[in-house]
Amino acid sequence: MVVKVQRPDIANRIQTDLAILADLAALAQERLAVAAQYNLSEIVWEFSATLRAELDYVREGRNADRFRQMFCGNPHIYIPRVYWEYTDTRILTIERITGIKLNDMASLRAAGVDLSRLARASVEITLEEIFGHGFFHSDPHPGNFFVINGGVLGVVDFGQVGVLDHTTMQGLLWMMGALINHDSQGLLRALERLGVIPRRAATAALRRDLERFVEGFVDRPLGQISARETFDGLTALLRRHRLTIPGPLATLLKTIVMMEGLGMQLDPALDVFAAARPYIQRALRDQVTPAAIGAQALAGGRELGELALEIPDQLSQSLQRLNEGELRLQTREIELRRVASALVGAANRLALALVVSAFILGVAMLVVAMRALEWYGWLPWTLLFFGVGGVVTGGIMLTLALLRRE
């Protein structure tokens, strides 16, 4: 077994250093334009959160157990077990694994390890973490990987991990799909969803630069496109327009670049995009299942309901402020008509969107019921037919309504 012991009083020292670093970042962001451009305070906060998490050895042990459960049926990876009876927040006791470090090429060749197969396995493990579980090892450097039993990948050190929420996952999928399909508008929408570009704030210059960036992928085989080249180019473009990448997304992109470098060190001919394609396709399919659509419709309906409940209170507060003289309205008749028209249009679109959401939710629940309860016959199929027809008709009407209001 291996015992990892935390140095005495190291937590207090790190907390002091991080507090000083945060103050320096805030001061620099106030005084220096370059620090404000890179949002230095957020970078320091993200670094601090990661470092504090690494100080909690119980959390690291739980991360190891979670990875062990995720890959329990995968013969290409081995996660050491945690001895919880000898583990607490400052002591971590884990199973010892011995093998060849992943960057020791001479020893790997001498042991007869298939480097090409090992490279693909290491990349596929990271892709499965990201697209299959939304929970990934965010420090995939060679020192954390060992080759054991002639080709099995042993992984250690789970202090740094990343977690993907649904919005980030969807934005990442859209971004990679836009790059592969040479779709600059799709890339713009993906960056908006990821929080890199504020919605409807893209300038004409930014749109032109995105088009040039995407054109760089035209007529190039996927095997000649590297993740590092792609993300370095995108980062330079965003820096030119004074845009920053959110901390969690930066951690994910760093992990993908490190994963690619690790795999290509073993096999320079490795096609990372080709290896990623089936994982991306599976993740996209999972997002359009009836259950996923039903969950999204339910979440959207809940948000609309919460918004509807807030409107009377906000209207009452506005009227009260108006009555007390704190709020003044100055308008002309033509402006009032424009506002009234916009409100009517918004209300119509909201009502139609609620109807479409209800149809989608109903279809999803009906499909789940048919599969779970084995409910067959002419009645459920008739309901399903009319439900799908309602979704299509409502979607067309909603699209036409939105086009009329553009």
Q: Which residue numbers are catalytic? A: 139
DSSP conformation letters of 288-339: TSHHHHHHHHHHHHHHHHHHHHHHHHHHHHHHHHHHTTS------HHHHHHH
- 281: tokens are 């396709």
- Gap between the Cα atoms of 273 and 260, Å rounded: 10
Per-residue tokens: 301: 């309906």
d(CA 190, CA 273): 18
Q: Count H helices and E strands in the chain, helices first.
A: 15, 8
Name every residue whose Cβ is closer than 8 Å to that of residue 261 and which is 6 or more positions away in sequence. 228
**What are the start-end ranges of the H helices in 182-226?**
184-193, 204-215
DSSP for 42-91, please give it.
HHHHHHHHHHHHHT-HHHHHHHHHHHHHHTTT-TTEE-PPB-GGG-BTTE
Q: Which amino acid is at 172?
A: L
Cα–Cα distance list, 89 to 53, 82, 287 (Å) = 11, 13, 38
Contact 89, 57 (CB under 8 A): yes
